[in-house]
Amino acid sequence: MYHSENHNEQDHQHPHRSGVWSTITHLFYFHGYHDHAKAANDPTMATNQGIRTVWLALFGLILTTSIQAIVVTISHSTALLADMAHNLGDTINEIPLLLAFYLARRVATTRYTYGYGKAEDIAGIFVVASLTFSAGYTVYEAITRFIHPVPFSNLGWVALAALVGFVGNETIAIMQIRVGRQIGSATMVADGLHTRTDGFASLAVLVAVGGTWLGYPIVDPLIGLAIGITIAVIAFDACKMIWYRLMDAVDPALVGQITTIVTAVADVHSVGHIKVRWNGHKLLCELEVTIPATLTIQQGDAIRIAIRAAVQAHHPQMVSVAVVLVPSIA
């Protein structure tokens, strides 16, 4: 069985600088990832670029959440509290994802023969848990404010914090979606789409500000309740995504694409059972193909190489294509 090259300890062939700045850049991977096309085709570079992106998202979310927390303290806005709680949950979500990317860099062992890519999917369990907690806490606070209203003040600061939340989340979402698609990480793309939803939730806080300014303070807990329900819906969708990943489910269209690609390879009579699964942000594939019984071993090897090259050309994140050749029966 042929596999693509294994990049591990040799993945950094550039000179290393000494000093504090070198240590920081090595930890956060703030260097060497400007070639996005190469990153999409290099599993190691893709993982390192994922680490860099998660670090940037983490810093951005900490800054956004901190600003909103200060304004919540001085304004007592339920809607902004709900948005802040959601952003805090997103900040916490980045930690298991970051650890998963670091684990993915570890070399496969005799126990973990497929490596540690699945850690990225396991991190999704913590994401779902934090989302569920954020939804429950937000709904609880909104209902409490209905029963025991708290004066809502400092409308200007709340509006400013809401705009900060929108700009911060949208900036992070653009980065996560772009990088996630480049490196083939469905989890990062989903996290980016989730972050974008958070940005629009921040804009919803402006509605609460407008309602209070017009003399309808009940709009504030109503918006908080709406945000809580939105988080619950996102948590449900995230739960389905993680279930699919942990159960090795893939888009059926992907199997159809691979079948079409392999069938077009010369001397391939038919394509048998295809198995495809995600290992973090990398794809693994096993398939059977029927070829003429008259071909030599060397010709069979050439077919394997051609199949692997064709599949990986269309799906760069496919790091392994195992091909079993079955001679046709006359």
Query: Quick check: 184 and 283 in contact, CB under 8 A?
Result: yes
Nearest-angstrom CA–CA distance, 195 and 57: 10
Which amino acid does the sequence have at 273?
A: H
Q: Which of 184, 174, 189 is nearest to 237 (CA)?
A: 189
- Which residues fall within 8 angstroms of residue 17, CB to CB, at 6 or more apart? none
Q: What is the pLDDT along the chain (330 residues), one digit of tens a residue?
A: 333 333 333 333 444 444 544 544 444 333 333 444 444 444 566 777 888 888 998 998 899 889 888 888 888 777 778 778 778 877 887 888 888 888 888 888 999 998 888 888 888 888 788 778 878 887 887 888 778 776 666 777 888 888 888 888 889 989 988 888 887 776 787 778 778 877 877 777 777 778 778 877 788 788 778 878 887 888 888 888 888 888 999 999 999 999 999 999 999 999 988 999 988 878 999 999 999 999 999 999 999 999 999 999 998 889 899 999 999 875
d(CA 330, CA 103): 49
| Rama region for 29: left / alpha / beta (φ>0; ψ in -120 to 50; rest) | left
Helices and strands (H and E) in the chain: how many: 10, 3
Predicted TM-score of the model (pTM): 0.68
Would residue 154 be called left, alpha or beta, if left means φ above 0 and alpha means ψ between -120 and 50 degrees? left
Count the Cβ atoms, other than its own, within 10 Å of residue 77.
32
Ordered structural domains, the chain, with CATH? 9-246 (1.20.1510.10), 252-327 (3.30.70.1350)
Dihedral angle over CA of 240, 241, 243, 249, nearest 10: 120
What are phi and psi for residue 88, nearest 5 degrees? -65, -40
Residue pair 276/252 in contact by the 8 Å Cβ criterion: no
d(CA 90, CA 127): 8
Q: Which residue has the tokens 């942000």?
A: 281
Cβ-contact 74, 154 below 8 angstroms: yes
